[in-house]
Structure 1
Amino acid sequence: MVRILNNLSELKETRFGQPRPRHGLNLLWWFAHYCVQIDSNGRMTAQCDPENGAFGFHRFYNKERLLPKTTLPYYEVGNLHTPGSLPDYVTRSYTGQSDSSNTDRIIVSFDSRWKRFEKIYVTQHSNLVRFDQNHTYCISTDLLKNIKELSRNDFLREPTNGSERVSIIFICCCLLF
């Protein structure tokens, strides 16, 4: 069972795309702003065509059963080994080394007849070959709408969890005494 993320707090709790040099948060912001349009009924219309390899999309065969079984094909995006396919702000921290800078991916189920994404998932590699089932999440349309409302800087600046606020308050209180 893949957990559904409904808001920014839930996304940040997962630590997806963190810490740097991971690119997942930039990738997700780019996807929300440039690859999907959400109508008033919550249908997610594709603004790019995963079938033709746009932005480095390629078929994901779900051999490891990472995601639920579906009649629709899955496509994956976010592999930084494909030069020039994603914006610079997504690829900027890529080192080309065997580190965490190329860990994160987005996987979509795509209905080519209607040009719609049925489901959108974020995941990360657990090693150089396999994805981590414990760090694979479905992104709700509400979360995508929230991301679309934010500038990239504001999205990246959102606290990862409540601990930053608690630490700042604790430090300030300590300084007063």
Structure 2
Amino acid sequence: MVASQDLGTEFGSQYPRHGLSLLYWFCHEYISFDNNNEMKPNRDPQDGAYGFHYYGNNEDLLDSLSDHQGYAYYTVGNLLANVNSPDNERLPDYVFRYFRTSRYLYVWDQNNRDRIIVRRTPWGNIDRVYITQHYTRGTCSSTYDPDNTFRISRELIEDIHSTPRNWYFQYFGIYRYN
């Protein structure tokens, strides 16, 4: 498994960031692999469950979809969008853990920056996955930081998918801030 610092990113790696927990949820609980080894979401991102919403790629952060009819980008990870969602459409508590404990600390611009962007095919599969983050508040607008946007390999998704949560969280030190 690859640590976030090995990827050259700070994605979810320091308190109160939630990206590594979000990535675990995505790979382990949201994605499955069908008989053709295609990545299948447990809910279609265009339905809006878990806070997924359409991402227009207006700043050309990702590849253009102009030659890919029926493809679309969707993003997930905005914890504020999840707070009032029904239980069956909300991200799990372990993704919210640091967000809740840091809401009133002077880290509010850090506790909700991490996102995952997926590319949905016309057949409802997910064929590309990216991790990204918003710029820190005051540095720029709320757009995503291109220097901290990375495509996640299928192999890494499969590794995380088959990794028990306690081992993954221990490996990344996610519970060191109890």
Equivalent in the alignment of 1:116:
125
What is the identity percentage for the equivalent residue pairs of Structure 1 and Structure 2?
39
Equivalent in the alignment of 1:145:
158
Shift of 1:65: 0.8
Shift of 1:99: 2.3
Shift of 1:42: 4.1
1:16-165 to 2 correspondence within 5 Å? 16-39=11-34, 41-70=36-65, 71=68, 72-82=71-81, 83=83, 84=85, 85-94=90-99, 95-96=102-103, 98-111=108-121, 113-128=122-137, 129-158=142-171
- Between 1 and 2, higher relative CO (CA 8 Å, sep ≥ 6) is seen in 1
Write the distance in 2 (CA, Å) between the matches of 1:139 and 1:18: 16
Residue correspondences, number: 152
Alpha carbons 1:42, 1:141 under 8 Å: kept: no
Secondary structure (helix, strand or coil) at the match of 1:158 reads helix
Gaps of 5+ in 1: 1-7, 161-177
TM-score when normalising by structure 1? 0.78
Q: How large is the Cα RMSD of the aligned pairs?
A: 1.9
